């Protein structure tokens, strides 16, 4: 199975220290943590290396745009390429159908490797304490065989079927059950499989739950049950080698509970649509034409450390490079109005208020 990996990963693995890639797709981070790739190289860098293994990532959806699906797709595809087990839950009747929409990794490596480093330096900076890791990864990439840790995905090309046809993918629909117990059970058996395999984690796995509190689920009005589920899931994920990504529409969660959800998240990300053909915005933001939407990072997982991650910028624009690969860029504002976008003023109010729209000028 390992031979079906699309690129010669073993080559670069030898270059980087042996410990970093003992488990495919897992990179060592600071404080004894490990990272999984989010499937979006830029997001990995913003977060200081990727999603921390054992963390709960929550994505606040924009009810008007499907940007969270992009994040989920890349997250899931990346896992499948790394041969990691995957559990996918969705409010759709047939969640397995979603696997057909997963993107395939970009074929032409050359293009990527010569374009990327420049862009990273120019647009993305990460928390100071991660610079060393950042540098390391960069050099790794420049050494030609950019490790398989993180792929660029071609959103227009579907993932080859053999990646998800195997045993490693588990799908469950949120719609069938009146409560969250079946999902919790699936999650616990799923994470037990990983934990069982060995004492020290030998393989990472991913859990993706789409639109947890979407109204078509029967349990969507049971606030405490959902909270309890998230808490249990967080506990499970923490003790096993997994990353769980939950996306949810924040407008459907009552405000007091929304705060609880946010507190439960290790990493908190929100995506936002941008208004179409808004002349004001077009004037204000350079590159407005290419933007799909905005992505904000509100919280970065702090496992095994007490130092908060302070990002230089918290809001990024989501763009498609060559109409294929998802990239994130720091917002470049035309120097008209300093009170918006990635300024610290809005990043301070990263919850609540900014959700309702940090673009309502």
Partner 1 sequence: MDNSRANLLEEAVGISKGGRVVVVEDCVETSGAFVLHHFLKRSLYPDTSDVVIFIAFAHPFSHYERILRKMGCNLTVHRKTHRFVFLDMLTLECPDRNGKETRQDGLLALYGEIEKAVEIYSSLEGSRTITIMIDDISLIEVAANGLSNHVLDFLHYCYTLKAKYGCSFVTLNHEDIYSSANTLPLILQPEYLADVIIKAEPLATGLASDVHGQLTVLNKGSVCDLGDSSSKVRNFHFRVKENIVDYFYPGTQT
- Residues at the contact surface with partner 1, assessed by CB under 8 A: 31-32, 127-128, 223-225, 227-228, 231-232, 234-236, 238-239, 255-256, 259-260, 262-263, 268, 298-299, 302-308, 310, 312, 343-352
- Compute the least distance from the CB of residue 32 to partner 1, in Å: 6
- Compute the least distance from the CB of residue 341 to partner 1, in Å: 13
For 260, the 3-state DSSP assignment is: helix
Question: Looking at beta carbons only, is 227 or 252 nearer to partner 1?
Answer: 227
Question: Looking at beta carbons only, is 206 or 355 nearer to partner 1?
Answer: 355
Closest CA to 242 of 272, 266, 277: 266
> Six-digit token pair at 39?
């499937």
CA distance 208 to 54: 13
- Is residue 173 within 8 A of residue 218, CB to CB? The reply is no
- Compute the least distance from the CB of residue 309 to partner 1, in Å: 10
- Compute the least distance from the CB of residue 111 to partner 1, in Å: 34
Give the chain's radius of gyration (CA, Å). Answer: 19
Q: Within a 13 Å sphere around the CA of 30, how many CA atoms are in the beta-carbon half?
A: 20
- Is residue 127 within 8 A of residue 48, CB to CB? The reply is yes
- Is residue 47 within 8 A of residue 255, CB to CB? The reply is no
For 299, the 3-state DSSP assignment is: strand
Write the CA distances from 181 to 190, 191, 229, integer angstroms. Answer: 14, 15, 8
For 296, the 3-state DSSP assignment is: strand
Question: Looking at beta carbons only, is 234 or 272 nearer to partner 1?
Answer: 234
Question: Looking at beta carbons only, is 132 or 263 nearer to partner 1?
Answer: 263
Question: Looking at beta carbons only, is 140 or 266 nearer to partner 1?
Answer: 266
Question: Looking at beta carbons only, is 32 or 335 nearer to partner 1?
Answer: 32
Question: Looking at beta carbons only, is 179 or 197 nearer to partner 1?
Answer: 179
**Which residue stretches of the chain are H helix?**
9-15, 41-46, 67-81, 109-123, 131-142, 181-197, 223-239, 255-264, 279-284, 344-348
């Amino acid at each position: 199975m390992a031979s079906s990996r699309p690129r010669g990963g073993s080559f670069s693995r030898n270059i980087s220290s042996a410990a970093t890639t003992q488990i495919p797709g897992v990179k060592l981070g600071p404080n004894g943590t490990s990272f999984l790739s989010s499937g979006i190289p830029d997001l990995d860098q913003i977060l200081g290396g990727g999603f921390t293994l054992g963390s709960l990532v929550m994505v606040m959806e924009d009810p008007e745009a499907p940007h969270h699906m992009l994040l989920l797709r890349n997250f899931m595809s990346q896992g499948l390429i790394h041969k990691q087990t995957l559990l996918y839950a969705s409010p759709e009747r047939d969640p397995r159908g979603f696997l057909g929409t997963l993107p395939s990794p970009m074929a032409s490596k050359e293009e990527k490797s010569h374009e990327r480093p420049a862009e990273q330096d120019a647009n993305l900076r990460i928390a100071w304490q991660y610079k060393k890791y950042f540098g390391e990864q960069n050099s790794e990439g420049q050494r030609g065989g950019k490790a398989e840790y993180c792929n660029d995905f071609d959103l227009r090309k579907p993932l080859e079927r053999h990646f998800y046809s195997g045993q490693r993918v588990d799908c469950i629909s949120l719609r069938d059950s009146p409560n969250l117990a079946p999902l919790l059970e699936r999650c616990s058996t799923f994470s037990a499989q990983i934990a069982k395999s060995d004492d020290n984690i030998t393989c990472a796995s991913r859990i993706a739950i789409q639109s947890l509190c979407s109204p078509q689920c029967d349990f969507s009005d049971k606030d405490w049950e959902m909270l309890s589920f998230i808490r249990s899931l967080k506990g499970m994920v923490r003790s096993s080698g997994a990353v769980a990504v939950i996306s949810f529409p924040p407008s459907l969660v009552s405000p007091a509970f929304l705060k609880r959800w946010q507190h439960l998240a290790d990493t908190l990300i929100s995506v936002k649509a941008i208004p179409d053909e808004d002349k004001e915005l077009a004037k204000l933001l350079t590159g407005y034409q290419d933007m799909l939407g905005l992505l904000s990072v509100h919280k970065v997982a702090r496992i095994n450390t007490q130092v908060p991650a302070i990002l230089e910028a918290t809001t990024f624009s989501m763009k498609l490079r060559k109409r294929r690969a998802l990239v994130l860029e720091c917002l470049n504002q035309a120097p008209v109005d300093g009170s918006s976008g990635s300024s610290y003023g809005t990043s301070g109010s990263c919850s609540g208020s900014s959700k309702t729209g940090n673009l309502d000028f």
